[in-house]
């Protein structure tokens, strides 16, 4: 059954990822992104945490904890893929700055395409894949759709506003398909993780990322810290799965480890928003 459904999952995953990034590009105001990019401290913090410290944390947990090799591989892949497509919604809920969110999405999308193809062959074992094999699906699913969306919006805001609801609906269908197919294909395997350290490793990873990126974002106000924390706590599941789906026979246990991260990261990100909410400035007019 899994072998029959895997092509459908790959197609749905491409539509899900490309659709979300196209949707982001259609909504992304470059003026907001450029405003965020002019904040040097925020940019440095984003790049440092996204592509050095968080991957190092994932690698450290995978090395220190007694994880099965496929589960360690899945955790490392998640560590290399920051920022879920739904970060703007979570960041707004937490009082995040719009310009910082736009800059964060842009930096992590471009950075993932550059860093992941180089880092995956260096940091992972049990996954024989070339840099180009990793880069190709990331270009198709992440960078190109976002750039197309930005180009359409730059050419015509009205056209972008007309296309965005259509793209959102198609992406919504693909999201539902990915969720259902992951449950059907990997559900039994996820239940089998109960006797392993996989769940503990993921909880430790997400909690540490959420806490450290907020507490150690020195010099940044809450509206930027929460963008950093939520953006880095959530992982780009499609990008993390891309190297596994690029090989002829992907390790199902590694893929299960990645899929398991989706509900966990949402729960931890929402808890982070709740816990740090007291740091947010009170709305104007409140006494």
User: What are the residue boundaries of the structural domains of the chain, listed by start?
Assistant: 2-277
Judged by average pLDDT, the poorest of 20-34, 101-115, 143-157, 185-199 is 185-199
User: What is the greatest pairwise CA distance in the chain?
Assistant: 61
Q: Which of 240, 224, 230, 209 is nearest to 87 (CA)?
A: 230
Residue 287 predicted with pLDDT over 50: no
Q: What is the mean pLDDT of the chain?
A: 88
pLDDT of 283 above 60 = no
Q: Please report the pLDDT score of residue 82 as a whole number.
A: 95
Q: pLDDT grade, residue 75 (50/70/90)?
A: very high
Give the CA angle between residues 103, 109, 115 to the nearest 5°: 120
Phi, psi of 32, deg, nearest 5: -65, -45
Contact 12, 172 (CB under 8 A): no
Protein fold of 2-277: Na+/H+ antiporter like fold (1.20.1530)
| H-assigned helices in 192-236 | 198-215, 222-233
- Indicate whether 186 pLDDT > 60: yes
Least trusted range by pLDDT, from 42-51, 128-137, 252-261, 267-276: 128-137
The reported pTM is 0.88
Calculate Rg over the CA atoms of the chain: 18
Please tell me the predicted confidence (pLDDT) of residue 282. Answer: 55
Q: For the ranges 32-41, 163-172, 203-212, 271-280, which has the lowest average pLDDT?
A: 271-280
- The whole-number pLDDT of residue 127 equals 72
């Amino acid at each position: 059954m899994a072998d029959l459904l895997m092509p459908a999952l790959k197609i749905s995953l491409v539509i899900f990822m490309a659709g979300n990034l196209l949707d982001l590009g259609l909504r992304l105001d470059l003026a907001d992104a450029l405003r965020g990019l002019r904040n040097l401290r925020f940019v440095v913090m984003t790049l440092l945490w996204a592509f050095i410290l968080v991957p190092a944390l994932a690698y450290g947990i995978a090395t220190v904890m007694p994880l099965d090799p496929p589960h360690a591989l899945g955790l490392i892949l998640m560590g290399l893929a920051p920022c879920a497509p739904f970060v703007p919604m979570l960041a707004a809920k937490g009082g995040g700055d719009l310009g910082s969110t736009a800059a964060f999405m842009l930096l992590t999308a471009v950075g993932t395409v550059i860093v992941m193809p180089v880092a995956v062959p260096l940091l992972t074992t049990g996954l024989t894949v070339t840099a180009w094999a990793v880069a190709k699906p990331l270009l198709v699913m992440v960078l190109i759709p976002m750039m197309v969306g930005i180009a359409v919006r730059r050419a015509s805001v009205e056209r972008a506003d007309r296309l965005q609801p259509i793209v959102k609906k198609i992406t919504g269908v693909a999201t539902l398909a990915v969720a259902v197919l992951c449950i059907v294909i990997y559900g039994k395997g996820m239940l089998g993780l109960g006797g392993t350290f996989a769940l503990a490793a993921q909880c430790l990873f997400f909690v540490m990322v959420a806490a450290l990126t907020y507490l150690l974002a020195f010099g940044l106000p809450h509206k930027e810290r929460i963008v950093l924390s939520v953006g880095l706590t959530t992982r780009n599941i499609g990008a993390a799965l891309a190297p596994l789906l690029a090989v002829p026979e992907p390790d199902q246990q590694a893929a299960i480890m990645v899929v398991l991260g989706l509900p966990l990261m949402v729960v931890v990100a929402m808890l982070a928003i709740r816990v740090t909410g007291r740091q947010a400035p009170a709305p104007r007019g409140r006494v």
